[in-house]
Structure 1
């Protein structure tokens, strides 16, 4: 099975909005952290964080069909979710092109909660701060600047593999977790819609 992004079917925000307005809206699975989901999400979407989706994908398979759109902030985590579900036997999923960033830019409707920083912004803050501090301290203490080099290597690897270890670690913090997603409740909701 190929794993390149070219096999992932995308859905433009305008097309998804039209499907929803016409009453033909697909099931929306938002794979961001509960904290990100609580900040802003598409009305009617179900929050299933990427880790939970991977862990319980077999349970979801019997309640999902081809009319599913995966959503995250920019599309990267949704693409990972699509790959995980495809490997488990559910092909032909779609990913919201540009994620919530594009959805909001298009002026599409959202439900808003308490504002929080998204994971990508948190990663930029942590990585940038580490590089800045180690660069300054490195002028006084030889070798400390190499920590920044390691962070740079990690960010390069993250870009090449479309994964982010720092983001995965940050997603485990209480700030990002929010209330834990109850997988059984999401599955029951999907079953009720069938």
Structure 2
């Protein structure tokens, strides 16, 4: 997505205060959404959005702002919806992190670690353990090297296999997003 499709937290706050808030689609996992989200946003996880984008298009005829933790997943969602023909897409610059840093309110639920933090914990732990094990087991350090290669690929491709795997753990799933419920809410909200 190009830079003109980005909306700053300050501008979004002003639109909300003026009663001109766009539709907010939060593309994080249900667990992340439950932990903290912008009031009035709809949770449509990235994989659900990709799978049901045609159905969503019929209910998203006005301005849409995509939200995630930092903006990366929202940009991916924006690309998927733009390819499907949805105009007026914007991504919240810096995601919920920037929103909160700007002093805006987040609705909070039970606290949990976000996926990015979990990836850092798992990757760092594997590298640490295999590095130490390499002292006694020749070649064990190669597992850490493979993790490093995977993280490098994740940065270059803007995707993360470890994050996808971690998001499937029961801890991260939370209540499953039902697309029919989301569509009904989109229909009923002016």
TM-score (norm 2): 0.97
Cα distance in structure 1, aligned partners of 2:4 and 2:149: 27
Partners of 1:57 and 1:88 within 8 A in 2? yes
- Asked whether 1:69 is paired with 2:65, we answer yes
Over the aligned positions, Cα root-mean-square deviation in angstroms equals: 1.1
Q: Deviations over 1:162-186 (max 9, x none)?
A: 1111001111111111001111111
Aligned to 1:53: 49
Q: Deviations over 1:9-68 (max 9, x none)?
A: 100001001101110000000000111000000000000111111111110011112400
Cα distance in structure 1, aligned partners of 2:90 and 2:30: 21
Runs of 4+ displaced beyond 4 Å: none
**Alignment length, in residue pairs?**
190
Cα distance in structure 1, aligned partners of 2:62 and 2:72: 20
What are the residue-to-residue correspondences of 1:1-194 with 2, within 5 Å?
Answer: 5-6=1-2, 9-194=5-190
Cα distance in structure 2, aligned partners of 1:71 and 1:169: 21
TM-score (norm 1): 0.95
Cα distance in structure 1, aligned partners of 2:62 and 2:143: 45
Instruction: Give SS of 2:77's match.
Output: helix
Cα distance in structure 1, aligned partners of 2:168 and 2:47: 10
